[in-house]
Structure 1
């Protein structure tokens, strides 16, 4: 029997259903549903804002990410918003390029700037190269140069006119750490390639005209960590939004997602407006020869009741029952759904993180069955033939260290069929194929679609 020291107990199933609901990956009630069809373009900005951005180091990733959440989405819906500058691609949390709303671009980038600036003064290849460069001056010179868009190579060469003894690539990298820089279209438009699509930067101020929802002084205080009160207030706002899209969560979860440390004070400042629950701790890897830990286990070989962890949430946020039926989901590559918690068991189940995230940081597109990762999917387009052909391939993903017998681990009870095994179920397979064919209609309209679900 699990404890409830922090409030009612939420198991991995309940956390899974809450996450899918917050991520808009399950059908919403009519009152909550966003725009569809011709109105889906207007819904892009609202969805990007709700999700606090989508990872976009691969420019195409937000397209399937939004398709999976917005009924009726087309690639032009996002392309139009990039062109009218209501969303932008910019380095924000964890220094990673995200697709964010224009309103969020300045504040989210400000959160990341102190760590990025510190990196430029640490012992690494960039810090060593820039050790004699005045970073304040580098920031100002780069801001002036980037009033007009420049590629990284062109920016580095122009900066080297001021610091000729420094390799241009390090100067350009330093500028990207110190300034909120937008990657301008056509980079990021669906299908864009060839001349003109090289990564090209300009400042968020030049592209967007400046922040409208916060004062420049307030954002500068966050970016330079010069005013503890302003930093705390900004962190409180960030945590509140994270809870809406990813809760219920631990403090460690929000730190993992944001890349920020020492977020406990921000969570505590919010406590009066939050509710708390008791949740399962991170599953441990069983010792050789030991039985697998069950749901909620916190230590291999531990005895007695599992020790719970404190989960925080907004009182008005959806928390569906853990047994509520959910549809098959095809989640995008680099989707924050699988990346944004310290304990990712709620969506990975018994699948190890390293099975989804490669050693060089590539994050696979995943197939969810009953809310858990069952496999990965890829898509390709062959336009060389007389008739263009588009193809999706789905491959099952069993838990690490298991035989192909469907046995689960972690949050999946021992002996139960793992979601990967259910891909062989004709009804599940048909649902996967239908979703994949819908994606191909969006990604490659007019191409001949085919879907292969591997055994």
Structure 2
């Protein structure tokens, strides 16, 4: 079985994530190809699309949000993602088990003991479908039925038990507002229908492979995917990584030469390329994971995280290097920062 080096894995995911060469695709097609974009920070998806696409402008994504072709919703790993409406309906049911486990073991678990969470969810659904609002505000209304519970605790239960969409203007480039929610079914006037787990794994590999079973579980938050990979094995090819772990991939997926040149790229906070594997060293060294956890936008040079960046109100982009780079590479990073500054101003 062929062994793929760390650089080979890096170039594969860089290619599939459209970070070697900006793609000539629509924002909607890109969001679906990537199986969503991490979106805890409202403007992150815009930067994530800009760094991947040739012609992207913020208005394109704003229009998709307003017209309900894409939504902001709690999904993989219990975090906010921006996904197509179709993917929201198909992916959200798969996350429910993990979100239920969070309620049983998370920070609110003790304060939720003895509470009929299904009853809370049903009461919350009626409130949020009739009058979209923040979950804490809905929690205050739920206290009428559960007066001995804190409204923040009740609101958090709704966050996990219901498929809640954050409505525009939340997530708009020009004027993002606070998180006002209603249920996915009410917003799209459609019912959820779970995507087969085999389909989920194939889409994951297309966007992030080659990958181990643990990588797919890390990205999705799902467990027991080994049986899914085994069922798909006849359709897949396998490799080993440098640690000897089995990697799965689609036969025709791109696996570029490890020496393939890669230009500098600016990534937004929590970009999925940094979070989609159990072993993240294909993009970022273990001792640098703190910059991701801390929510700092990062800079890729030669495919790996070497710096963080920030932008001031006047549009000035500042880079804080972790590594000392040759002058020619710093110049290339500066040119990419100039492109971002020009894009924001236009």
Please indicate, yes or no, whether the TM-score normalized by the shorter chain is above 0.5.
Answer: yes
Structure number having the greater helix percentage:
2
Asked if the contact 1:182/1:207 (under 8 Å) is kept, the reply is yes
The residue number in structure 2 matching 1:209 is: 189
Query: Is residue 15 of structure 1 aligned with residue 9 of structure 2?
Result: yes
The residue number in structure 2 matching 1:296 is: none
The residue number in structure 2 matching 1:334 is: 270
The residue number in structure 2 matching 1:451 is: none
Deviations 1:389-417 (Å, cap 9, x if unpaired)? 211111111xxxxxxxxxxxxxxxxxxxx
In structure 1, C-alpha distance between the alignment counterparts of 2:35 and 2:155, rounded to whole Å: 27
The residue number in structure 1 matching 2:108 is: 126
The residue number in structure 1 matching 2:24 is: 34
Give runs of aligned pairs for residues 285-300 of structure 1, distance below 5 A.
none
Deviations 1:121-173 (Å, cap 9, x if unpaired)? 34x55222222321221121111111131122321111111111111111111
Secondary structure of the corresponding residue to residue 315 of structure 2: strand
Query: Is residue 273 of structure 1 aligned with residue 238 of structure 2?
Result: no
Task: State the Cα RMSD in Å.
Answer: 1.7
Asked if the contact 2:21/2:52 (under 8 Å) is kept, the reply is no
The residue number in structure 1 matching 2:59 is: 76
In structure 1, C-alpha distance between the alignment counterparts of 2:241 and 2:336, rounded to whole Å: 32
Secondary structure of the corresponding residue to residue 90 of structure 1: strand
In structure 1, C-alpha distance between the alignment counterparts of 2:298 and 2:103, rounded to whole Å: 35
Of structures 1 and 2, the one scoring higher in RCO (CA 8 A, sep 6+) is 2
Please identify the structure whose Cα radius of gyration is greater.
1
In structure 2, C-alpha distance between the alignment counterparts of 1:375 and 1:118, rounded to whole Å: 35
Give runs of aligned pairs for residues 154-193 of structure 1, distance below 5 A.
154-192=137-175
The residue number in structure 1 matching 2:311 is: 379
Asked if the contact 1:351/1:373 (under 8 Å) is kept, the reply is no
The residue number in structure 2 matching 1:251 is: 213
Please identify runs of 4+ aligned residues in structure 1 that moved more than 4 A: none
In structure 2, C-alpha distance between the alignment counterparts of 1:353 and 1:258, rounded to whole Å: 22
Match of residue 99, structure 1, among 64, 82, 95: 82
In structure 1, C-alpha distance between the alignment counterparts of 2:302 and 2:124, rounded to whole Å: 49
Aligned residues, how many? 345
Asked if the contact 1:94/1:258 (under 8 Å) is kept, the reply is yes
Match of residue 436, structure 1, among 328, 333, 337: 337
Q: CA deviation at 1:189?
A: 0.6
Q: CA deviation at 1:181?
A: 0.1
Query: Is residue 110 of structure 1 aligned with residue 93 of structure 2?
Result: yes
Q: CA deviation at 1:351?
A: 5.6
The residue number in structure 1 matching 2:291 is: 356
Which segment drifts farther, 17-26 or 370-379?
370-379
Asked if the contact 2:24/2:55 (under 8 Å) is kept, the reply is no
Q: CA deviation at 1:89?
A: 0.5
In structure 2, C-alpha distance between the alignment counterparts of 1:71 and 1:371, rounded to whole Å: 19
Secondary structure of the corresponding residue to residue 312 of structure 2: strand
In structure 1, C-alpha distance between the alignment counterparts of 2:166 and 2:236, rounded to whole Å: 37
- List gaps (5 residues or longer) in structure 1: 1-6, 36-42, 220-232, 282-307, 382-388, 398-419, 446-455
In structure 2, C-alpha distance between the alignment counterparts of 1:113 and 1:238, rounded to whole Å: 15
Q: 1:162 to 1:331 in 2, by over 3 A?
A: same
Asked if the contact 1:92/1:110 (under 8 Å) is kept, the reply is no
Q: 1:252 to 1:142 in 2, by over 3 A?
A: same
Query: Is residue 24 of structure 1 aligned with residue 18 of structure 2?
Result: yes
Asked if the contact 2:215/2:279 (under 8 Å) is kept, the reply is yes
Secondary structure of the corresponding residue to residue 150 of structure 1: coil
In structure 1, C-alpha distance between the alignment counterparts of 2:48 and 2:77, rounded to whole Å: 19
Asked if the contact 2:135/2:159 (under 8 Å) is kept, the reply is no
In structure 2, C-alpha distance between the alignment counterparts of 1:94 and 1:277, rounded to whole Å: 26
